[in-house]
Chains A and B, each alone.
Chain A
Amino acid sequence: MSTLLHIKGLKKYYPIIGGIFKRKMADVKAVDGVNLTIMKGECFGLVGESGCGKTTLGKTIIRLLTPDAGSIYYNIPEDILEEIDKLEKENPRSSKLRRIREEYDLATFKGRKLRQLRRKMQIVYQDPTTSLDPRMLVKDIVAEPLVAQGLARGSEAKKMVVDMLERVGLSEKHLCRYPHEFSGGQRQRIAVSRALIVRPEFVVLDEPTSSVDVSVRAQLLNLFKDLGKDFGLTYMFVSHDLSVVEVISDRVAVMYLGKIVEVATTEELFKEPLHPYAQGLFASIPIPDPTRRRERPPLTGDVPSPVNPPSGCRFHPRCQSVTDVCRKEEPQLVDVGNGHLVACHVISSELGK
């Protein structure tokens, strides 16, 4: 399996503007140095509590937001990637590296290049009630990306729209209706068909099932799975609902306060999470089985503010196995075998022994 996306040291800060001169007072460190690789054709799950920067990361990867630092390499040959690695180590300010980055790094893309990129990367938002224009007809909503990209117009576009709607379980009779005439699940289907009509390769699904009921959720998840197979899509599935992520994802990353703390295949992570935060998070899921109740909440306290995150490991104020080094040094993602990455001092020191 080849790599589709290489993300290196990605940072996205939101400035807090205040004072009488409207100066920048501080930064909300929404995404603070994320390294990730996403394979071609996989469904990559991203989980974390609200406010940990999941959505910001998803939007930054497809360049709806401009990152403050870091680079995103999309579908580039291995040898160029190796060259970048080498150059970064030897001379991070060399003009050769700059030239390569301008050509391949999505973080530097602008204008026409960026618009071409939009064809390959799409997003489905959380709440279809707000992400669909209430004053546009379904046929216009779904055809809009085609027109904007200059791919098709008129009757040709209409034919593609009908095909697409049928693929997601709607039909031609829905063409001339407004979004409010649909149920939540159907609206999400419209949003999906709008994202997929330009035949993208990479789709960010930003909590697409959080606003629908259990039975509709199951229908939508099955739809995502089928479409992913049929169109050969690579998904990034952002969610705080762990049970959904478990069903749909191949690999999962756990995020905490702007940082990735653990990445592993779904089976491995759900069977045995290693990072203390991931353990707490997974133990918090209510299990739909009354014989397996738990007595105490696994995690106490609230998520600290991302404006002023704790020093060292960001999880240390809530962690039970905290050591001195956790308060001072920030842990890096370490491979503990089988591509299972964990950022925790305790675990990496245990492995070192």
Chain B
Amino acid sequence: MTEERLLEINGLVLNFYTYEGIVQALDGVNLYIRDGETLGLVGETGCGKSVTSLSTLVLIPSPGKIEGGRILFNVQGKKVDLLKQSDEHLRTIRGKDISMVFQEPRVYLNPVYTVSSQISEVLVKHRKEEFLKKALESLKQERRKKGLKGSTFEMNLYERMLKNPNSLTNKILSKIPGSQRRFKLEVQREVVRILRGMGIPDPERVAKMYPHELSGGMAQRVVIAMALACNPKLLIADEPTTNLDVTVQAQILSLIKRLKSMFKSSVLYITHDLGVISEISDRVAVMYAGNVVELADVYELFKKPLHPYTRGLLESIPRPGKPLKSIPGTVPSLLNPPSGCRFHDRCSYAMEICRKVKPAFTEVEKDHFVACNLYGGSK
């Protein structure tokens, strides 16, 4: 293993405790993301794609419980298990080291705040010190130019805030109207700079808009801007282009690609569209009913899919001139998943062993992992 792994999920098990019973949403998920690469996570509705990404941020909705496994994330050269961190520590990671872009941009933007106030919230939360210093510096320079000595109340306040970020007096003082004018101005400038980087025309005007004034593609750009405001190491994009038109989708995809190489971030891109996957990812993880069934390089996966489910998925892409194939049956209920391999009742290669034994996630070829009993022995 030469490349550094940024994120590593090992045997993640997650159950939802509902009235109808235990929904076994994730059943030992294994995947890893290297530094600076894009991992595409593909699967049908309800296979656990989104839950996997939410687990990475340790944001599991209430009846859900993580029952096992590890999520190792590389923070400043050290590998930490995100599941064992305190809430407070997690809050400093979320939005700063790992951030997320969701499917419906308009749902995730607050309708009563302007674009700029929503983006600056992230900046103030994670990069406050930087902006305080900037504001202080620019105030000092201004006074020097005018030939004045001493300092104003605003400068004193910034100095105090820098020295003692958690003091209550400073918090109260900062509520005085106008006391943080320069600081807010600096944040505003950064917001406009970020929006310009997203390829948004006329960013000063857009910054003052409310979410309902934006088109779908524009709203998604704003959400991406928010996610990238702190140069995260990992960007999780959960079907960010599903509700957009193909032309806008193409724009957003090339934007994500450009930003990724600019910020040197890794991306976990979740989608059910295989076309998008082949467009954007370096490696692909295929999920089925709470398991990652195949993990491989994107060229390798499209050329030589190993798992029967991956093959079925690739064959059900409409291609002109060829008869459409479909995978028989439907996705099983996770309340009562099939025993052994969860795909066995839809699999045309199913053997006796598949009904009983859950296949292990094995590296069949270099960097090509499969969870299937067909390849279990050839390790």
Given contacts A221-B324, A288-B274, A297-B254, contact A49 B247 (CB under 8 A): yes
Q: Give the contacts of A105-152 with B (CB-CB under 8 A).
A: none
Q: Is B306 an interface residue (CB 8 A)?
A: no
Q: Give the contacts of A262-301 with B (CB-CB under 8 A).
A: 266-267, 270, 280-281, 283-291, 293-300
Chain A interface: which of B9-17, B130-138, B148-156, B325-333? B325-333
Residues of chain B within 8 A (CB-CB) of A270 are 320
Q: Is B246 an interface residue (CB 8 A)?
A: yes
Measured as residues with beta carbon below 8 angstroms from the partner, the interface class of chain B is: 35 or more
Evaluate contact between A297 and B246: CB separation under 8 angstroms.
no
Given contacts A218-B325, A247-B318, contact A293 B278 (CB under 8 A): yes
Residues of chain A within 8 A (CB-CB) of B248 are 49, 302
Evaluate contact between B326 and A215: CB separation under 8 angstroms.
yes
Evaluate contact between B246 and A285: CB separation under 8 angstroms.
yes
Evaluate contact between A286 and B330: CB separation under 8 angstroms.
no
Bound Cα distance A4, B227 (Å) = 52
Q: Give the contacts of B226-254 with A (CB-CB under 8 A).
A: 245-251, 253-254
Contact pattern, B 324-344, Cβ under 8 Å of A = 1, otherwise 0: 111100110000000000000
Bound Cα distance A52, B317 (Å) = 26
Bound Cα distance A139, B342 (Å) = 34
Evaluate contact between A214 and B317: CB separation under 8 angstroms.
yes
Bound Cα distance A221, B326 (Å) = 10
- The listed residue (A219, A285, A294) touching B326 by CB distance below 8 A is A219
Bound Cα distance A157, B317 (Å) = 38
Evaluate contact between A218 and B246: CB separation under 8 angstroms.
no
Interchain Cβ contacts within 8 Å, total number: 113
Chain A interface: which of B176-184, B202-210, B308-316, B370-378? B308-316
Instruction: Count chain A residues whose beta carbon lies closer than 8 angstroms to a beta carbon of B.
Output: 42
Bound Cα distance A243, B276 (Å) = 13
Evaluate contact between B326 and A213: CB separation under 8 angstroms.
no
Evaluate contact between B299 and A291: CB separation under 8 angstroms.
yes
Residues of chain A within 8 A (CB-CB) of B246 are 49, 240, 242, 281, 284-286
Evaluate contact between B218 and A302: CB separation under 8 angstroms.
yes
Evaluate contact between A222 and B324: CB separation under 8 angstroms.
yes
Evaluate contact between A218 and B279: CB separation under 8 angstroms.
no
Given contacts A185-B330, A290-B302, contact A243 B247 (CB under 8 A): no
Bound Cα distance A226, B313 (Å) = 22
Given contacts A284-B250, A297-B250, contact A215 B217 (CB under 8 A): no
- The listed residue (B272, B281, B298, B319) touching A214 by CB distance below 8 A is B272
Bound Cα distance A219, B277 (Å) = 22
Bound Cα distance A230, B257 (Å) = 47
Contact pattern, A 308-325, Cβ under 8 Å of B = 1, otherwise 0: 000000000000000000
Residues of chain A within 8 A (CB-CB) of B8 are none
Evaluate contact between A183 and B330: CB separation under 8 angstroms.
yes
Q: Is A6 an interface residue (CB 8 A)?
A: no
Contact pattern, A 183-210, Cβ under 8 Å of B = 1, otherwise 0: 1010000000000000000000000000
Bound Cα distance A215, B42 (Å) = 13
Evaluate contact between A298 and B250: CB separation under 8 angstroms.
yes
Evaluate contact between B249 and A284: CB separation under 8 angstroms.
yes
Evaluate contact between A215 and B247: CB separation under 8 angstroms.
no
Of chain B, the residue at the smallest CB distance from A50 is B245
Residue in A247, A267, A291 whose Cβ sees the most chain B Cβ within 10 Å: A247
Instruction: Looking at the assembled complex, report how far the CB atom of A349 sits from the nearest CB atom of chain B, in whole angstroms.
Output: 26
Residues of A within 8 A of B (CB): 49-50, 183, 185, 213-219, 221-222, 240, 242-244, 246-247, 266-267, 270, 280-281, 283-291, 293-300, 302
Residues of B within 8 A of A (CB): 44-45, 215-218, 245-251, 253-254, 272-279, 281, 298-299, 302, 312-314, 316-320, 324-327, 330-331
Q: Would you give 12 A-B contacts (Cβ < 8 Å), ordered by A?
A: A49-B246, A215-B312, A215-B313, A216-B326, A217-B316, A218-B324, A286-B250, A286-B278, A287-B279, A290-B299, A295-B254, A302-B217
